[in-house]
Homo-oligomer: A and B are copies of this chain.
Amino acid sequence: MTITVKITISLKDGMLDPEARAIQHALSNLGYTTASLSTARVFNVGIDTDSPEEAKIMAAEMCDRLLANPVIHSYEIEAKK
């Protein structure tokens, strides 16, 4: 069975997000005032296993070893059937 794991990687609180500031600025130029704007990346990963728990553990390892930078990123993992 394939379990799809949704990994959301975002910047930790307090980290500067220049891309978000640039987007906020561009939106403001188009006339859209925003109170806040933050960005995140999502990876939907299909893992061949029967256990959602195992899939989540594997996804956390992927984050720690490749996808996220522990100094600046935090991540959330959610298993979809």
Q: A43 to chain B: which residues have CB within 8 Å?
A: 20, 23, 37-40
How far in angstroms is the closest Cβ of chain B from A62? 6
Number of copies of this kind of chain in the complex: 2
**Interchain CB contact under 8 A, A4 and B36:** yes
Which residues of A are at the interface with B, using a C-beta cutoff of 8 A? 2, 4, 8, 10, 20, 23, 26-27, 30, 32-48, 58, 61-62, 65-67
Can you name 14 extra interface pairs (CB under 8 A) apart from A30-B62, A35-B48, A41-B42?
A20-B43, A23-B66, A30-B65, A32-B62, A33-B48, A36-B46, A37-B43, A37-B44, A39-B42, A39-B43, A39-B44, A40-B41, A40-B43, A40-B44
